[in-house]
Amino acid sequence: MGQPNPPEGAGEAGPDKPPLRVGMVGYAFMGAAHSQGWRTAGRVFDLPLRPALTAICGRDPAAVRAAADRHGWASAETDWRALIERDDIDLVDICTPGDSHAEIAVAALAAGKHVLCEKPLANTVEEAQAMTGAAQEALGRGRLAMVGFNYRRVPATALARRMIADGKLGSLRHIRVTYLQDWLVDPEFPLTWRLRKELAGSGALGDLGAHIVDLAQYLAGEQLSGVSALTETFVRERPLSGGSVKGLSAVSAGGTGPVTVDDAALFTGRFPSGALASFEATRYATGRKNALRIELNGERGSLAFDLERLNELSYHDGTEPATHAGFRRILVTEPEHPYLDAWWPPGHGLGYEHTFVHQARDLVRAIAEGRQPDPSFADGLQVQRVLAAVEESAEKNSVYTPIAV
Ligand code: SOE
């Protein structure tokens, strides 16, 4: 393939800027979200490089062609190896299921590309280690790698980080985080790649738990030292829909296949500072669609964020007189708030998709300045170690399990 679409300048930050030519692998939910990010970042923010949507890659020729047209990519490829060999690609953006992250990322870095990889970084600690090694080696050649934990890029969570770093909460005591979805409640919901360990690595744990582990550690400014966990798979057999899951034809005789990942993960953790944390990630919270909530309690105050009200941050200043102290709502839409100087006038809120625009903005700036973007592959590896410790603890029936370093 590789035939160009008519030039239409999608994602251009101004023709005078040098381009950052992006090749993206994958075009489903995350591919669409990342496309929005690349298309919009240079139009909203003043960026030193102009993101160019140069090529999109997927195995199905007709589907990838349609995705290129829909999302504004200039050309399409059906083999990621062909994509990373192209000398008109500067950055490879990996939006595939976890089983291919390591192979694509390591090869792309070796081919001299910058890499953005969707979370969780990999399916196993070993793969994440290989990716981190490749990223460290590539850094010496000026090639940069970042993992896509997009919830760091909600203006309200970025503001929370700033307030915590400024000491507004003092020492943290408690962090409680929940990430609740309900798309598996129906036992007839088909077996998809997200429900197979060899493709997704784990279930709610890797998909949702990875987000809340990263967010909690990012906001706390430190990394968990150990966890104690419970996991469960509530529905263990699900219908196969049209043989769409790679490698499952052998078990499709009865029309169903086994779910090989967790449906829910609950765990507690300790931070080196002494703070305690609790985490809940599930796809069975009936009525909850994409409900991520985090509350942090410190000696001087508390903060709470709820993704369903993502333009707001709740803050309690514990140093105020009890007569009028209380949680107050900060509307995070002022130009002084993170990311908001380039958006709408105060009060005109942002949404989920803007986190991907901010992710593209931050990565483009880091590349232009030649500095390591956050979160790094090493950060992704550390989250992977937490996930592995959660699985180990759950297997051992909730024994407190230190995290390997
Ligand atoms: C599906 O559970 C999913 O799309 C995750 O994969 C995303 O990372 C999360 O942001 C929303 O839910």
- Going along the chain from its start, the domains and CATH numbers come out as 19-149 (3.40.50.720), 155-309+311-350 (3.30.360.10)
Q: Ligand 1 within 6 A of 297 CB? A: no
Per-residue pLDDT at 254: 63
Cβ atoms within 10 Å of 83's Cβ, excluding its own: 25
Contacts of 86 (CB under 8 A, 6+ apart): 2, 23, 55, 77
* The pair of three-digit structure tokens given for residue 320, joined into one six-digit string: 């105020």
**Between 377-395 and 125-139, two packed helices, what is the crossing angle to 10 degrees?**
170
Sequence letter at residue 217: Q
Tell me how far CA of residue 149 lies from CA of 70, 185, 213, 264, 359, in angstroms: 25, 26, 10, 20, 9
- Residues 112-120, mean pLDDT to the nearest whole number: 98
Residue nearest ligand 1's atom 9 by CA: 208
Pairing of strands 91-94, 114-118: parallel
Q: Ligand 1 within 6 A of 183 CB? A: no
Three-state DSSP at 346 gives coil
Q: Which residue has the tokens 């919830």?
A: 151
d(CA 374, CA 365): 11
The closest-lying atom of ligand 1 relative to the alpha carbon of residue 181 is 2
* The pair of three-digit structure tokens given for residue 218, joined into one six-digit string: 């990012």
d(CA 147, CA 372): 11
The closest-lying atom of ligand 1 relative to the alpha carbon of residue 118 is 8
DSSP one-letter code for 378: H
Residue nearest ligand 1's atom 5 by CA: 207
pLDDT at 156 over 60: yes
- Residues 22-35, mean pLDDT to the nearest whole number: 98
Task: Convert the pLDDT of each residue in 202-235 to its tens digit.
Answer: 999 999 999 999 999 999 999 999 999 999 999 9
Per-residue pLDDT at 405: 82
Tell me how far CA of residue 310 lies from CA of 166, 208, 376, in angstroms: 22, 17, 25
Tell the burial category of 319 from Cβ atoms under 10 Å away from its Cβ (0-12, 13-18, 19+).
exposed
* The pair of three-digit structure tokens given for residue 318, joined into one six-digit string: 């514990």
Per-residue pLDDT at 12: 47
Cis link prior to 120 (omega < 30° from 0)? yes
Tell me how far CA of residue 330 lies from CA of 307, 322, 333, in angstroms: 14, 19, 9
Q: Ligand 1 within 6 A of 29 CB? A: yes
Residue nearest ligand 1's atom 1 by CA: 207
Cβ atoms of 325 and 9 within 8 Å: the answer is no
Sign of the CA dihedral running 384, 27, 30, 364: positive
Residue nearest ligand 1's atom 3 by CA: 207
Is residue 10 very low, low, confident or very high in pLDDT (cuts 50, 70, 90)? very low
* The pair of three-digit structure tokens given for residue 10, joined into one six-digit string: 């999608």
Q: Phi-psi region for residue 43, left (φ > 0), alpha (ψ -120 to 50) or beta? A: alpha
Sequence letter at residue 154: V
d(CA 187, CA 210): 25
Query: If you measure from the C-alpha of residue 388 to the centroid of ligand 1, how many angstroms do you get, rounded to a whole number?
Result: 19
Per-residue pLDDT at 96: 98
Residue nearest ligand 1's atom 8 by CA: 207
Query: If you measure from the C-alpha of residue 181 to the centroid of ligand 1, how many angstroms do you get, rounded to a whole number?
Result: 9
Query: If you measure from the C-alpha of residue 119 to the centroid of ligand 1, how many angstroms do you get, rounded to a whole number?
Result: 9
Q: Ligand 1 within 6 A of 379 CB? A: no
d(CA 249, CA 264): 26
Residue nearest ligand 1's atom 2 by CA: 207
Contacts of 6 (CB under 8 A, 6+ apart): none
Q: What percent of the chain has pLDDT over 70?
A: 93
Cβ atoms of 48 and 365 within 8 Å: the answer is yes
- Three-state SS string over 180-216 comes to ECCCCCCCCCCCCHHHCHHHHCCCHHHHHHHHHHHHH
The closest-lying atom of ligand 1 relative to the alpha carbon of residue 211 is 8
pLDDT at 251 over 80: no
pLDDT at 8 over 50: no
Q: Ligand 1 within 6 A of 355 CB? A: no
Tell me how far CA of residue 2 lies from CA of 91, 102, 209, 272, in angstroms: 17, 24, 37, 51
Rounded to the nearest integer, the mean pLDDT of the chain is 94
Query: If you measure from the C-alpha of residue 208 to the centroid of ligand 1, how many angstroms do you get, rounded to a whole number?
Result: 7
The closest-lying atom of ligand 1 relative to the alpha carbon of residue 29 is 4
Q: How many angstroms separate the first and last alpha carbons of the chain?
A: 44
Is residue 14 very low, low, confident or very high in pLDDT (cuts 50, 70, 90)? low
Per-residue pLDDT at 196: 97
Sequence letter at residue 164: I
Query: If you measure from the C-alpha of residue 389 to the centroid of ligand 1, how many angstroms do you get, rounded to a whole number?
Result: 22
The closest-lying atom of ligand 1 relative to the alpha carbon of residue 119 is 8
- Residues 159-168, mean pLDDT to the nearest whole number: 98
d(CA 399, CA 276): 16
Q: Ligand 1 within 6 A of 181 CB? A: yes
Query: If you measure from the C-alpha of residue 44 to the centroid of ligand 1, how many angstroms do you get, rounded to a whole number?
Result: 25
Chain centre to alpha carbon of residue 190: 24
Sign of the CA dihedral running 383, 385, 388, 393: negative
- Residues 263-274, mean pLDDT to the nearest whole number: 97
Q: Which residue has the tokens 């790679």?
A: 246
Residues in the chain: 405
